[in-house]
Amino acid sequence: MTGKRQKAEARGRRAEKWAALWLMLKGYRIAAMREKTPSGELDIVACKDGVLAIIEVKARDTLEDGINALTRHQQQRIIRGASSFTGRRRQYAGLAIRYDLMVIRGWRLPHHVRQAFWPEGRSASDVN
């Protein structure tokens, strides 16, 4: 692994830890972090108020860069991963699933975009 890639990996891990801490402070219970599935990794899986939130974490300089970094391909991978996760962990099978995005921007507070996308392919920006 190159030095640049190692730095990016370390930045991503720090962002995920910061996002998980922020979610816990907001009352979420972390069910899994860096959950490996056949379709890829789920950054954070958390529960609150009967909802299973599948949270993709992006460490970017701006909120816009973080939102734009979540591609349709990644969304499909996350949806497949969530299906695999709930299939293997029956205690979460009956919960509503929400797909969120957490953008970590340097030393600022995390920006939590709830329902950043839907399984049908719509994104939060398509709704308004």
pLDDT at 127: 41
Contact by Cβ (8 Å): 56, 116? yes
pLDDT in the model for residue 50: 93
The confidence score (pLDDT) of residue 27 equals: 97
pLDDT of 122: 58
Q: Is pLDDT above 50 for 84?
A: yes
The answer for residues whose C-beta is within 8 angstroms of residue 120's C-beta and 6 or more apart is none
pLDDT of residue 93: 83
Q: How many helices (H) and strands (E) does the chain have?
A: 4, 5
Least confidently predicted of 23-27, 41-45, 66-70, 121-125: 121-125
Structure letter (DSSP) for residue 109: P
Token pair listed for 74: 């990644």
So what's the pLDDT on residue 128?
A: 35
Pairing status of strand 51-59 against strand 96-104:
parallel
Residue of 84, 82, 112 whose CA lies nearest to 97: 82
The CATH number of 3-127 is 3.40.1350.10
Residue 125: predicted pLDDT: 52
Q: Where are the domains of the chain?
A: 3-127
